[in-house]
Amino acid sequence: MDKKNKMITSRDDDFAKWYTDIVKAAKLADYSSVKGCIVIEPNGYAIWERMQEILDKKFKQLGHVNCQMPLLIPENMLKKEGELVEGFAPEVAWVTQGGEKELDERLCIRPTSETLFCDYYQSHVKSYRDLPKLYNQWCNVLRWEHETRPFLRSREFLWQEGHTIHASSKEAEEETKQMMDVYRWFFHEILAIPSINGRKTEKEKFAGAEYTLTNEALMYNGVALQAGTSHYFGQKFAEAYDVKFMNKDNKEEYAYQTSWGTTTRMIGALIMVHSDDYGLVLPPRIAPKQIVIIPIGNDEKVIDKCENIKKELLENNIIAYIDNTEKSPGFKFAEAEVNGIPVRIEIGARDLENSKITFARRDTREKIIEDLSIDIVKYTKELLDEIQNNLYNKAVQRRDKLTFTATNLKEMEDILNTQPGFIHADWCGDTDCELKIKEIKGCKSRCITDEALITGKCVCCGNDAKHHVIWGIQY
């Protein structure tokens, strides 16, 4: 009889508990003695390394280079851009003492690095010939969150933050949009998660930005997740930090800046979109291990066959390994399942005698028996592609099922009280209406889209609408 994993609460009974159970059962992360901070375990960190590897390659193809800024920011430097200080003040942690000596000036532990990059640009950008500078850094940041949850919201987390500086607004805005498209590509093509690109409202944009573009995804339970953001700063930071250059007309002007980033929160998105009551489910393109080969028994011929299959797969860029631990086959099957390995290959002495091989798909939990004479590389590649596409299509179907339209506040309230999801509704652009909507279960604007207006009237006040907005409850 097919039974769910006893370590994992049913997803439909208690989604929050289910999520935590998956994190612990798949050994992705554990709680630490440092309040609000987690230990990212090897299984979790391996996923982050795959994310780094794929995104880093993409960034470099677009001309970006990696660098590293300090962890600490002097208070006077942080205060130069007023909006940034105001936006991050509640989350900032301060260092006030070094050794046994009290510091003359407090040092902020970076919540983000715009100020540090601006300080660097100020002394390294003099002419248009110095531009653009396309930088990225992989690092940790600290934000003093009050309510934390592994990967989704923790005080210390890992991320990448891109920071670029340009000689024209046109070039900087093209960069802002380009990097948003990169995040969308990564979510759709690599993580198999459908997402929507749009613009944040004035209230929800990044502190200090002219505007913020965002990539929004919907989790299985209908709660939205901000998956990545890209900010256009214009000259605001350059003016605050006196970052000037001589343009082609030999005139001095302030530079144009962007920043963009995404975080280990993406691991949380993978869990909440794809996983089930049996454990983690990973799309093959992001899985650190794509194939586990499990020999049944200790027959020498079986072991040799497993080694040959592994060698052939590895030589063709398929990430395969043999589970040769001293555990029972059933335990190995369950372990591979809870860890989300996309494909399990099983082979024993009887299989060799009958020239058969068994494939088990993690996405459907289906077992397929094939002839041992198949082209193992071709078959496995096709199977991995099929799993990747199936996971994406299932996620699209779920997202569409939980996407609604509202024409007035009552309809919006009924939807949120029944089943959260993406809610398409028109908005007048007034912050008071945005705040009024937030009173319904904390519903926020996720993004402004280019879609046509639904009724032309604001969902809240009924006045003429300016924007088509997607709304939702967020993590």
What is the residue range of 413's domain? 403-472
Residue 379, phi then psi, degrees to nearest 5: -60, -45
Q: Does 236 lie in the same domain as 139?
A: yes
The pair phi, psi for residue 416, each rounded to 5°, is: -65, -30
182: in domain: yes
> Do 121 and 45 share a structural domain?
yes
For 13-36, give one letter per residue: b (16+ CB within 10 A) or e.
eebeebbbbbbbbbebbebeeeeb
Whether 361 and 450 share a structural domain: no
Do 452 and 468 touch, CB atoms closer than 8 A?
yes
Q: What is the CATH number of the domain that holds 442?
A: 3.30.110.30
Query: Which of 62-89 are b and which e, b meaning 16 or more Cβ less than 10 Å from the residue's Cβ?
Result: eebeeeebebebbeebbebbeebbebbe
Residues 26 and 52 placed together within one structural domain of the fold:
yes
**Phi, psi dihedrals of residue 42, rounded to the nearest 5°:** -50, -40
Residue 431 in domain: yes
Q: Which of 383, 413, 433 is the last residue of a domain?
A: 383
Q: Are residues 212 and 94 in the same domain?
A: yes
Nearest-angstrom CA–CA distance, 343 and 359: 7
**Domain termination residue (choose one: 215, 249, 274):** 274
**Residues 6 or more apart whose Cβ sits within 8 Å of residue 216:** 195, 196, 197, 198, 224, 225, 226, 227, 422, 446, 447, 470, 472
Position 176 in a domain:
yes
Of 274, 302, 318, the residue that ends a domain is 274
Residues 75 and 210 placed together within one structural domain of the fold = yes
Q: Do both 155 and 59 map to the same domain?
A: yes
Side chain identity at 428, as an amino acid letter? Answer: C
Residue type, 177: K
- Which of the residues in the chain have pLDDT under 50? 1
* Pair (411, 331) in one structural domain: no
Q: Do 146 and 34 sit in the same domain of this protein?
A: yes
CA 130 centroid distance within chain: 32
Q: Which of 321, 263, 242 is nearest to 81 (CA)?
A: 242
Measured CA to CA, the distance from residue 230 to residue 233 in angstroms comes to 10
* pLDDT of 79: 85
**Would residue 177 count as lying in a domain?**
yes
CA distance 25 to 3: 16
Question: What DSSP line would sit under 206-267, residue for residue?
Answer: PTT-SEEEEEEEE-TTS-EEEEEEEEEEETHHHHHHT-EEE-TTS-EEE-EEEEEEEETHHH
Beta bridge partners, 38, equal 31
The Cα-based distances of 136 to 172, 328, 443 in angstroms read 15, 46, 33
Count the domains in the chain: 3
Q: 282 lies in a domain?
A: no
> What CATH number did the domain enclosing 298 receive?
3.40.50.800
Closest CA to 445 of 462, 425, 463: 425
Helix, coil or strand: residue 408: coil
* CA–CA dist 259, 111 (Å, integer): 14
Query: Count of CB atoms within 10 A of residue 458's CB?
Result: 25
DSSP state of 348: E
Sequence-separated (6 or more) residues with CB below 8 Å from residue 337: 5, 278, 279, 344, 362, 365
Has residue 323 been placed in a domain?
A: yes
Residue 1's pLDDT is: 41
In a domain, 390, yes or no: no
Residue 98 sits in a domain of what CATH number? 3.30.930.10
pLDDT for res 134: 98
Q: Which residues pair with 149 in a beta bridge?
A: 153
Same domain, 257 and 124: yes
- Exposure string (b/e) for 146-174, b if CB count within 10 Å is 16 or more? eebebbbbbbbbbbbbbbbbbbbeebbbe
Residue 372: phi and psi, rounded to 5, are: -65, -15
Backbone φ/ψ region at 359: left (φ over 0), alpha (ψ -120 to 50), beta? beta
Residue 7 belongs to some domain of the structure: no
Residues 42 and 152 occupy one common structural domain: yes
In 275-353, which ranges are continuous DSSP H helix? 300-315, 329-338, 349-353
Cis link prior to 132 (omega < 30° from 0)? yes
Are both 254 and 376 inside the same structural domain? no
